[in-house]
Amino acid sequence: MSSISPEEVAKIAKLARLKLSQDEIALYQRQMSRILDSMAKLRQLDTQAVPPTASVPWIEPSPREDEPAAFSNASALVALAPEREGPYFKVRKVIE
């Protein structure tokens, strides 16, 4: 009942920014359907009155001032860019 269609798989791949081959789409359609089916058991549990856990309770947010600090190895960061110009990352045109 959780089975998903090849079209849905292709749509998810688009959302996830993943280029998949037709074979991959077919494979993931089968595997995801099976995995999602196995997860249907969660529906047996009535969780309406149960609050969700996003993280463990002993971690409290510890706000601090947003103060910029120098990163000592900045040139090594830029050096990782596949395409760069001087100290800049080169990015494809974003807005037509």
* Residue 10 engages another protein in binding (rule: CB under 8 A): no
Which of 66, 85, 86, 94 is close enough to bind another protein by CB under 8 A?
94
Strands (E), the chain: 84-85, 88-89
What is residue 21's three-state secondary structure?
A: coil
Residue 85, beta-bridge partner list? 88
| Continuous segment of H or E residues that includes residue 85 | strand 84-85
Which of 16, 23, 65, 68 is close enough to bind another protein by CB under 8 A?
16
* Residue 22 engages another protein in binding (rule: CB under 8 A): no
Cα–Cα distance list, 69 to 28, 51, 73 (Å): 44, 38, 12
Residues forming the site for another protein (CB under 8 A): 4, 9, 12-13, 15-20, 24, 28, 31-32, 34-36, 38-39, 41-43, 45, 47, 50-56, 58-59, 61-62, 64, 71, 73, 76-77, 79-83, 89, 91-94
